Amino acid sequence: MALQQVYRTSLSLLTDLYQLTMAYGYWKNGMAEREAVFHLYFRKNPFGGGYTVAAGLEHAVQYLQALKFTDEDLAYLGSLKGSQGQPLFEQAFLDYLGAMEFSCDMDAVPEGTVVFPNEPLVRVKGPLLQAQLVETPLLTIINFETLIATKAARIKEAAKGDTVIEFGMRRAQGIDGSLSAARAAYVGGADATSNLLAGQLYNIPVRGTHAHSWVQAFDSEEEAFEAYGEAFLQDTVLLVDTYDTLEGVKKAIAVAKKLQPKGFVFGGIRLDSGDLTYLSQQARKLLDEAGFTGTSIVASNDLDERLITHLKQEGAKINVWGVGTKMITAYDQPALGGVYKLAAVKDGEWEYKIKLSEQLAKTSNPGILQVRRYYDQERYQADMIYNELEPLPANPQIVDPLDTTRRKTVEANVQHKDLLLPVFNKGTLIYTLPDLPSIKTYTQQELNQLHESIRRYLNPHSYPAGLESGLHQYKLDLILKLREPEKH
Ligand SMILES: Nc1ncnc2c1ncn2[C@@H]1O[C@H](COP(=O)(O)OP(=O)(O)OP(=O)(O)O)[C@@H](O)[C@H]1O
Ligand SMILES: O=P(O)(O)OC[C@H]1O[C@H](OP(=O)(O)OP(=O)(O)O)[C@H](O)[C@@H]1O
Ligand SMILES: O=C(O)c1cccnc1
């Protein structure tokens, strides 16, 4: 029953061992309750793209709401031994964990928001032990769902208003990979999923056709089509490529005509192999000539945003795209490199912290950060990461992270909004989670605010997003200070 045991009420052990060893260390050193701030952000848009769609907040919230070490969890931690056979954790620490209630503040960008490198998607502020502990699960959830939502947005963009159905469960990264990806794909742009459990859990529309095995199970393709059409008079999409695609289309048309007196509505055909441009054009001609002008042509077969764009440019007559492997696995980039970095610790006063790196771009940002988005009537103009606790100049400057000599002054007449919204206040949920259809609509509104040169998948323009110049200078000074050998 291991499978059933995976999806349990307590996911508190769903973290790396080192989160618990650090937690023990903080507790032992009297630092557990010291206030700290962490930011979750990524450094590069995935897929060589110009934007990223944030997703996963709902699951992150659910995880945090349920964060409680059960007796079973504590017994397991108590059973862990060091190399000399000694218990890894002492009982008083386990008692502390058992009594612990999540009490952090969390701010996050709403799901469906378009975001850019280095911008915090989540900010956790609270007792050091707790804020550290949640690093790994928050990254697991946000990295994956953000990655898939972004992939789906790219695919939906390529489909240019056509319907996109997520068909990927069979190729997904395991059970949860199929479920959370189905939800994230829907957030990003997919219109429906073939995954029934995702449909039930998340209220995503479910859609599907039939497999080649259906046709193979009958003595002839006609019989198979007729039997399916009889069973689903209203919603039939027939897979026509089991033997010879265009012959299959002709047989599907003949069956549709035969069943019409019974109220049959010819929903569509599906093409799953061969030259999808040529076959869809020929199939469209045959369908139109037979009067089935409203019958859809569904295509599937290793599709992604590039192929869909190609097929459209070639003049393919496809209006529904079934996309599996390449969407559900984010095939060309299997992980978003989101990180979770300590940015401030309070010891009386706030002390801002950075993690040094050889490259300035990889050095984390200090402070208690917020993201300000500037926009006019038509578009998002620029984003500025700034320290909430420091005063902002009247006309702040945004420093380009890739070329810090390039700076953009924010014009006085543009509007702005801050992206991180309060989600938890001292462990209490204060954010109303939007329903999934609202998130999906919001994603599309967000994408529409980006210039199409930023949305295109090939060599997109980069959206201006950087540090407020005062924060940038503070960071440089901190780096220089930390690099002085005698200081550390
Ligand atoms: N007109 C086209 N232009 C570019 N790529 C296409 C075109 N038509 C199909 N493709 C893509 O080419 C790839 C190979 O197609 P092909 O029909 O050879 O697939 P297959 O997987 O070998 O077929 P089968 O499913 O029968 O094994 C698929 O990813 C398919 O989506
Ligand atoms: O190609 P994807 O984007 O992953 O879409 C899902 C695929 O899954 C099904 O076939 P399956 O892969 O089971 O068999 P097939 O490749 O032999 O058609 C379906 O016919 C699609 O081709
Ligand atoms: O319904 C379909 O056509 C379907 C579902 C999953 C995978 N491939 C196709």
At residue 3 the predicted structure's pLDDT band, cuts being 50, 70 and 90, is: low
**Per-position b or e across 448-476, b if 16+ CB within 10 A of its CB:** eebeeebbbbeebeebbbbbbbbbbebbe
Which amino acid, residue 281? Answer: Q
- The neighbouring-strand residues paired with 467 are 385, 399
**What is the CA(79)–ligand 3 centre distance, in A?**
46
Cα end-to-end span (Å), the chain = 52
pLDDT value of residue 239: 98
Instruction: Count CB neighbours of 235 within 10 A.
Output: 12
Residue 101 CB-density burial (10 A; 0-12 exposed, 13-18 middle, 19+ buried):
exposed
> Mean pLDDT over all residues of the chain?
95
For the cut 60, the answer to whether the pLDDT of residue 440 exceeds it is yes
Does the C-beta of 324 come closer than 6 Å to ligand 2? yes
For the Cβ of 167 lying below 6 angstroms from any atom of ligand 2, the answer is: yes
Cα–Cα distance for residue pair 382/461, rounded to 1 Å: 13
Mutate to test the pocket of ligand 3, among 167, 270, 325, 326 (most ligand atoms within 8 A of CB): 167
pLDDT at 267 over 60: yes
CATH T-level fold of 151-328: TIM Barrel (3.20.20)
pLDDT at 80: 98
Which residue is closest in CA terms to ligand 1's atom 18?
274
Does pLDDT of 412 surpass 60?
yes
Amino acid symbol at 92: A
Question: Residue 6 has what pLDDT?
Answer: 66
Q: What is the rounded average pLDDT of the residues 344-365? A: 88
pLDDT digits (tens, 9 = 90+) for 162-204: 999 999 999 999 999 999 999 999 999 999 999 999 999 999 9
Q: What are the pLDDT digits (tens) for 229-239? A: 999 999 899 99
Better-predicted residue by pLDDT, 169 or 474? 169
Distance 421 CA to ligand 3 centre (A): 38
Report how far residue 171's alpha carbon sits from residue 326's, in angstroms, rounded to the nearest whole number: 9
Q: Tell me the pLDDT band of 4, cut-offs 50, 70 and 90.
A: low
Query: What separation in Å is there between the alpha carbon of 145 and the centre of ligand 2?
Result: 23
CATH 3.20.20.70 domain extents, the chain: 151-328
Distance (Å) from CA 300 to ligand 2 centroid: 7
459: region left, alpha or beta (phi > 0 left; psi from -120 to 50 alpha): left
Question: How confident is the model at residue 235, as a pLDDT?
Answer: 82
**Residue 169 forms beta bridges with which residues?**
none
Average pLDDT (396-412) is 88
- Which of 181-190, 362-371, 435-444 is predicted least confidently? 362-371
pLDDT digits (tens, 9 = 90+) for 39-64: 999 999 999 999 999 999 999 999 99
Q: What is the pTM of this model?
A: 0.96
Interval 286-343: pLDDT, tens: 999 999 999 999 999 999 999 999 999 999 999 999 999 999 999 999 999 999 999 9
Q: On the CB side of 272, how many CA atoms lie within 13 Å of its CA?
A: 18
CA of 201 to the centre of ligand 2 (A): 24
Q: Dump the DSSP string for 311-324.
A: HHHTT----EEEE-
Residue 5 has pLDDT above 60, yes or no: yes
Q: What is the pLDDT of residue 260?
A: 96
Ligand 2 probe mutation, 207, 301, 331, most atoms within 8 A of CB = 301
Instruction: Among 216, 243, 277, 301, name the best residue to mutate to test ligand 1's pocket (greatest count of ligand atoms within 8 A of Cβ).
Output: 301
Structure tokens at 467: 């540090």
Q: How confident is the model at residue 395 (pLDDT cuts 50, 70, 90)?
A: confident
Task: Give 363 Cα–ligand 3 centroid separation in angstroms.
Answer: 44
* Average pLDDT rounded to a whole number, residues 363-385: 94
Q: Which of 238, 241, 300 to mutate to test the pocket of ligand 2 (most atoms within 8 A of CB)?
A: 300
Q: Which ligand is nearest to the CA of 209?
A: 3
Share of the chain above pLDDT 70, in %: 98
ipTM above 0.85, yes or no: yes
Token pair recorded at residue 218: 């009958």
Cα 204 from Cα 147, distance rounded (Å): 19
344 near 352, Cβ under 8 Å?
yes
Q: Which of 242, 238, 278, 272 is nearest to 255 (CA)?
A: 238
* pLDDT attached to residue 486: 54
Is pLDDT larger for residue 377 or for residue 170?
Answer: 170
**pLDDT 10s digits, 72-118:** 999 999 999 999 999 999 999 999 999 999 999 999 999 999 999 99
Question: Nearest ligand to the C-alpha of residue 329?
Answer: 2
pLDDT greater than 80 at residue 276: yes
User: Is any atom of ligand 1 closer than 6 Å to the C-beta of 244?
Assistant: no
Short-list 374, 371, 399, 391, CA closest to 468: 399
